[in-house]
Amino acid sequence: MNTNIFLQIYHDYSERIQSGEIAAGTKLPSENDLTREYGISRETVRKALQLLSENGFIHKIKGKGSFVLDLGRMNFPLSGLVSFKEMSERIGRKSQTIVYTTEHIPIPHAVARHLETDKHATVWQVIRARNIEGEKVILDKDYFRSDVVPLLTKEIASGSIYAYLENELDLQISYAKKVISVEDATAEDKELLDLKQYTHVVVVRNYVHLEDTTLFQYTESRHRLDKFQFVDFARRSPGEEK
Amino acid sequence: MNTNIFLQIYHDYSERIQSGEIAAGTKLPSENDLTREYGISRETVRKALQLLSENGFIHKIKGKGSFVLDLGRMNFPLSGLVSFKEMSERIGRKSQTIVYTTEHIPIPHAVARHLETDKHATVWQVIRARNIEGEKVILDKDYFRSDVVPLLTKEIASGSIYAYLENELDLQISYAKKVISVEDATAEDKELLDLKQYTHVVVVRNYVHLEDTTLFQYTESRHRLDKFQFVDFARRSPGEEK
DNA sequence: AAGTGGTCTAGACCACTCT
DNA sequence: GAGTGGTCTAGACCACTTA
C-alpha cells in the first residue's frame, strides 16, 4: 500500500537481513551506490538506512560504510509494540489464548488512575491467560475506553485485538509507555495462572496512545517469573552525548 | 563542542520541556516558523523534531502540528544507555557505591560465552553493590575486555566508569542490547546484597558495543525484586505497519 | 484556501578511513 | 586522493486539518 521509497528499501533490506540472506558483518552498498541503484536521491537512501539502524539491523561507521549486525535475527523485535500473538508466532512456540472475560463495565477504581478518564467512564475489560506449552504463564488484563472501542467480543479477544483495532476500527496506534516491575502474586494470579511455587509475578503495565495522543488502552500483563523475558536494543542517541 | 544545528535545537527544546517551562499539551511553533526563527532549512528543523519525537518529548500530527507529551518529565530516561550514577542523581535519591573487587583476571568460563572473546583473553572484573537509602539492592558485575580497557582502578570504579571510558580513554560507546529476566538468587547475591526474604533477583544482562561494533563490555545487573523498575517508551515504527 | 507535517530532489561541504 | 557517511540547503509536491 505504502509507496514510500525509503520504506520499500527498508523492508527489502530488513527482510533479507532477518532471513539470513545477508549475513552479519556484511558491508552494505554505499549510499552513493544505492542512490544510483534505485535512481533516487541520497537523502532518501539515508532515511531507509536510518530506520535499519534504529531497529538494530545495521550499524553505520563514518568513512567506512554500513554493516549488518547479528542482533536482528534473534529476539525480535528488539523492543517495540508487538502483540503476544505475533510474538509467539515468530518464536514458533505452541501457544493458546484462554479468554476469561469480555465485559463492558464501569471503570474499576484501580484502573481509572491509569487510564486518566473521568470516574464515570465505562471500559471494555478483557481478561485472558496465555498458555505456552501446556502452562498458563501470562495473565493479560486489558482495559479499553469504550468511547474509542465501542464493541469487543469473545471472538475478537481470542484472536488479535490489535488487528481488529487497526483493520476494522481504523484506529492508529502510535506510541506506548511500558513500566516493568515485580509484585506479589494476587489471589487472582494464583487462580487463573499455573503459578507453581512462585510467590511473585512480573508486571508489565502498558499505556497505549492513539495517533491523536489520546490514551485509550491500559494493559496489565502479569508473567510467571520463570517465563518472563524482555529484550531491549538501545542506541546511544546523539542527544545524550555530552 | 558540537556545532550541529539540529542538536542545538533538540537540546534547547528537550531542556525546556523537561524543566516544565514548556507544559505538556503545548503546541510547538510550526516547522515553517522554526525555519524562519532559526534562519535554517526545514529539513534541519525536522531532524531536531524527529529526535524530540523519538525520545518521547513530543508527538507530531500531520496537518496539526507538534505537541509536547507529558511522559518526558517522569521516569527519565525512557529507555537508553544511562549509568546508575546518572540515574540516581536524576531521581535525587541518596545512593552509594560499594566496590568489592577491581581485578584483571583470565576471563571466567561463564563470561566468555557472553563476551565472545577467545578463551584465553583477560578481562577487568568489577563487582559493585549499589546502596540506596541504606540497603544494598543492586549487584553490578562488570567485565571489560582488557585489550580495549587496559586499566581500571578502585577509584574509577567507585565513580563513573562510563565517564572514564569516554573522556579519558576516548572510547565511543554506540549501542547495547539488554536482556531482562528473573532468576534464582545465588549465594553471592545473598552475601553481597541485603536480599531480605527474597529468593529471586531480576537480572539485566547488558551487552555494550563500541563505535566500530566490537563488543567490549558485558554487565550483569542483579536487582532485588522490590527495587527494580524499567521504563520503556516505544513508538510504532513506520517499518512495522502492514 | 491556508497552514500543517511527510516525502523527495539535486546539489554542497565536511570529517573520517583507507591505500 | 578517492571513498565513505554526516550535515545542511532551497526548493518542490503531497495528504491532511482547520476555518
pLDDT at A242: 37
Q: Is there a contact between A234 and B79 if contact means CB atoms under 8 Å apart?
A: yes
Task: Return the H-helix or E-strand segment holding B167.
Answer: none
Cell readout for A39 is 535512481
Strand D bases with any atom < 7 A from protein Cβ: 3-12, 15-18
pLDDT at B72: 56
| DSSP letter (8 states) at residue B107 | P
Task: Return the H-helix or E-strand segment holding A220.
Answer: strand A215-224
pLDDT at A159: 82
| DSSP letter (8 states) at residue A31 | H
Per-residue HEC secondary structure of B20-65 comes to CCCCCCCECCCHHHHHHHHCCCHHHHHHHHHHHHHCCCEEEECCCE
Is residue B101 scored above 90 in pLDDT? yes
Residue B135: CB atoms within 10 A of its CB come to: 16
Exposure b/e, A113-122, CB count within 10 A at least 16 = b: ebbebeeeee
Residue B19 — left, alpha, or beta (φ > 0 → left; ψ -120 to 50 → alpha)?
A: alpha
Give the residue among A176, A186, A185 at the shortest CA–CA distance from A216. Answer: A176
Read off the pLDDT of residues B190-208 as tens digits, 9 standing for 90 and up: 999 999 999 999 999 999 9
pLDDT at B197: 93
User: CA-to-CA distance for B17 and B12, rounded, in angstroms?
Assistant: 9
Give A130-154 as a DSSP string. Answer: EEETTEEEEEEEEEEETTT-----H
Return the minimum-mean-pLDDT range out of A18-27, A87-96, B35-44, B98-107.
A87-96
Interface probe, candidates A181, A197, A222, chain B, greatest B C-beta count within 10 A: A181
Q: How far is the CA of A12 from the C1' of C6 (A)?
A: 21
Three-state DSSP class for residue A172? coil
A31 is near strand D: CB distance < 7 Å: yes
In the block, cell 502452562 appears at A135
pLDDT at A154: 92
Cell readout for B143 is 567485565
pTM, 2 dp? 0.90
In the block, cell 502483540 appears at A83
User: CA-to-CA distance for B95 and B135, rounded, in angstroms?
Assistant: 9
A212: Cβ contacts below 8 Å, ≥ 6 apart: B61
- The contacts found for A16-22 with CB under 8 angstroms, 24 or more apart, are A17/A52, A17/A57, A17/A58, A17/A68, A17/A72, A17/A73, A18/A57, A18/A72, A18/A73, A18/A76, A20/A73, A22/A68
Cell readout for B226 is 522490590
User: CA-to-CA distance for A203 and B9, rounded, in angstroms?
Assistant: 37
pLDDT at B136: 93
B16: Cβ contacts below 8 Å, ≥ 6 apart: B22
Return the minimum-mean-pLDDT range out of A164-178, B32-46, B70-84.
B70-84
pLDDT band for position B133 (cuts 50, 70, 90): confident
Burial label for A60, CB within 10 Å (0-12, 13-18, 19+), is middle
Tens digit of each residue's pLDDT, chain A (242 residues): 567 999 999 999 999 998 889 999 999 999 999 999 999 999 999 999 999 999 999 999 999 999 999 865 555 555 554 455 556 666 666 778 899 999 999 999 999 988 877 778 899 999 999 988 889 999 999 999 998 998 999 999 988 888 888 888 888 899 998 888 899 999 999 999 999 999 999 999 999 999 999 999 999 999 999 888 888 888 887 666 43
Residue with the bigger pLDDT between A74 and B150: it is B150
Q: How far is the CA of B85 from the C1' of C13 (A)?
A: 40
User: CA-to-CA distance for B190 and B199, rounded, in angstroms?
Assistant: 9
pLDDT band for position B81 (cuts 50, 70, 90): very low
Q: Which residues of A touch B174 (CB under 8 A)?
A: 59, 235-236
Check: CB of residue B209 under 8 Å from CB of residue B216: yes
> What is the radius of gyration, based on Cα positions, of chain B?
21
Average pLDDT over residues B174-184: 91
B79: Cβ contacts below 8 Å, ≥ 6 apart: A79, A232, A234, B231, B232, B233, B234
pLDDT at B96: 86
Question: Within window 166-185 on B, which residues have Cβ closer than 7 Å to strand C?
Answer: none
